[in-house]
Structure 1
Amino acid sequence: MFIATLCLSRRLSMALVAAALAGAFPLLASAQPYPAKPVKVVVGYSAGGAVDAVARTVGQAMSVSMGQTFVVDNKPGAGTNIAVKSVIAAEPDGYTLMMAANALAANMALYQPAPFDAERDLVAVSLIGRVPVVIAANASAPYASIQQLIAAARAKPGSISFASPGNGSTPHMAVEFFKRAAGISLLHIPYRGGSQALTDVIGGQLPLVAVNALEVQPHVKSGKLKVLAVLSTNRSAIFPEVPTIAESGFPGFEASVWYGLVAPAATPKPIVTRLHAEVQKALQTKEVRDRMTAVGGEVLPGSAEMFAALIRSERQRYEKLVREANIKPD
């Protein structure tokens, strides 16, 4: 009886071990080194814009470094909220990322109730770089510098209008910050995108436009527009002759379009750490640096914590501006 019981116990133990091993095989098979398949980088804007260009450039550098394809997935709409929500809802496995910009911080104040909480729902992977917002004027406008614009605006408050890509867009917010710093009043005319805004300013319907440096570059080259100021701490590589807003009498003022990579909040720490390291490596390559220079910007190496702090501070800054200026999204 004892021997029979012992044999039964052994057979039962072996069966349990076999079952455990069988259950572990799928896990062992899936535990391949990251990344084991293509990585999707969501962009909340249409293809061809600055954010899309940065995502593709950085993605290509990371593809070479990590030996896996990085595919850009453009999801425009709702001020990038559609794209952000799709990333928040994605599996937190490192295979869905987002190339985010200022809207990630601004939209939490612009849209009520807030569509998401970036600090809770996403994890900052790495800051990529920034491109300055510029204030440009029609070639025949009666001011050739930001000081002349300020003087004209003070002489006739509210009489000078400026176009932007839309209510709550980064260029719109940048000019709102500038208006407060300069103590002037300008009339905002929102458009649905920068293209039509630029067309109307070139055509003379409006005297001013606020856009990122890349969008205005070809029109400045053709002589149809002139840049009055670059709203950044450093001069732009594509407009080296144009003074920064700090050089124009506003030290410490800065309003740029920044770019950074984020992932779903529950993405494993080792994957986030690996991605951060790979982004830092990509930012050192000539291809990425040249591309950022070509769009009028600069790379910004740094820690993931630095990027998280930027998102937090930008959120607070935009919340105050939206409240005080009563800005509503399109």
Structure 2
Amino acid sequence: MIKTAAWLAAALVLANPAASAQTYPSKPITLVIPFAAGGSNDIIGRAIGKKLTEAWGQPVVVENRSGAGGLIGSSDVAAAAPDGYTLLLVSSTFTINPAIRKSMPFDTTRDFAPVAFIARSPLLLVASTSLAVKSAKELIALAKSRPGQITYASAGPGSINQIAAELIALSAGVKLMHVPYRGGAPALNDLIGGHVDVYVSSLPQVLQLAQSGKANALAVTSVKRTPLLPDVPTLDEAGLTGFDLSSWWGIVGPAGMPADVVNALNAQIGKMLASPELITPLANEGAEAATMTPQQFGELMRMETERWIKVAREAHISID
């Protein structure tokens, strides 16, 4: 009798995780966005939260916990219970931070569980109209003839603008001069004014300038052209074979989440990506939805982190 009771107790313990996953979600989910309201992370995160609420009938509470380049909100999620009820919207910054900071409050690989990939968007390499180049090939040739004299703007040290520009320079074997600004707006103002030569930006930030001719679109950073600028070649076409760089978004949770909860979230988010409510905000960011398994998403984040650590080391990028 005692043995039977012990066996039943053990069976119940083993059954609990599966039972909880089968009834997931049974209470509200918190989706943390580690940046301020209004930006692309906020727009995409809120669209995901709204669709999850509709699909599962449980509220998804979106919370903006900004600060320290995304570290504050990310740290909160890393320390949360790994039960699937606290999630984090991540973007390219998530994998750039370990490269540009000497110390981190968490390990992006060890302390988080990859859940679902959402979308990716190429960056756009643009040049001032006062610079005598019309293509990425011409820019690379000019930079080789004038090492360290071609200037590029960024939204600040450690920004994706800087690290992307340095990756392009390293890939092309050229040296560019960094001119940091306090945000993208002043950087673009000086690009238009001819005070700085080039800028690597998200598509929405420079699309109108490129289409109006106020800046010259030289190349997109993805392996295929973007439908938004079909006549603009890729860097691969410009001679940087295999060059592929995109900003991206995804969902992670604390490490140790039950696999079936992760899989349930991954499947549901994957279904939602074809809905107009998500296609529209993604398109506004120049992004295309894409699905990955949690394992594939985890591998992407690992490879991105390693790439940025290498670039930051070679280009001496650090914000600490």
- State TM-score, norm by structure 2: 0.87
* Structure 1 residue 249: Cα displacement: 1.4
After superposition, the CA RMSD in angstroms is 2.2
Which residue number corresponds to residue 41 of structure 1?
31
Cα deviation, 1:209-230, whole Å, max 9, x if unaligned, reads: 1111121123334432221111
Match of 2:95 among 105, 130, 136: 105
Contact 2:102 2:318 in 1 (8 A): no
Identify the match of residue 309 of structure 1 among 299, 312, 315.
299
Report the more deviating stretch, 195-204 or 304-313: 195-204
Note the C-alpha offset of 1:286.
3.4
Render the CA deviation track for 1:80-135: whole Å, top value 9, x for unaligned: 11121111122323222111112222222321223311111110001111111111
Measured against aligned partners, the alpha-carbon deviations of 1:1-46 in whole angstroms (never above 9, x if no partner) come to xxxxxxxxxxxxxxxxxxxxxxxxxx9xxx6932233322222222
Answering whether residue 255 of structure 2 is matched by residue 265 of structure 1, we say yes
1:156-210 CA deviation, whole Å, 9 max, x = no partner? 1111111112222222211111111111111111223322222222233212111
Q: What's the counterpart of residue 227 of structure 2?
A: 237
Q: 2:273 aligns with which of 265, 280, 283?
A: 283
CA distance in 1, matches of 2:43, 2:64: 11
Q: Which runs of 5+ in 2 are unaligned?
A: 1-15
Matched, 1:252 2:258: no
Q: In the aligned structure 1, how far is the partner of 2:157 from the partner of 2:178?
A: 9
**Which secondary structure state, in structure 1, belongs to the residue aligned with residue 109 of structure 2?**
helix
Aligned residue pairs, count: 303
- Which structure 1 segments of 5+ residues have no match? 1-26
Q: 2: CA distance between counterparts of 1:75 and 1:138?
A: 36
Instruction: Identify the residue that residue 327 of structure 1 maps to in structure 2.
Output: 317
Match of 1:129 among 113, 119, 134: 119
Q: Give deviations 1:211-268, integer Å, cap 9, x for gaps.
A: 1112112333443222111111111222222111111112210111111100011323
Q: Percent identity?
A: 39
Q: Which residue of 2 aligns with 1:164?
A: 154
Q: Which residue of 2 aligns with 1:89?
A: 79
CA distance in 1, matches of 2:27, 2:208: 39
State the distance in 2 between where 1:298 and 1:193 align: 25
Q: TM-score, normalised by structure 1?
A: 0.85
Inter-partner Cα distance in structure 1 for 2:225 and 2:277:
21
Task: Answer whether contact 1:119 1:312 (CA < 8 A) is retained.
Answer: yes
CA distance in 1, matches of 2:197, 2:249: 29
Encode CA deviations 1:35-94: one digit per residue, 9 max, x unaligned: 233322222222222222221222222222122233332223212111211111223232
* C-alpha separation in 1, matches of 2:49 and 2:268: 10
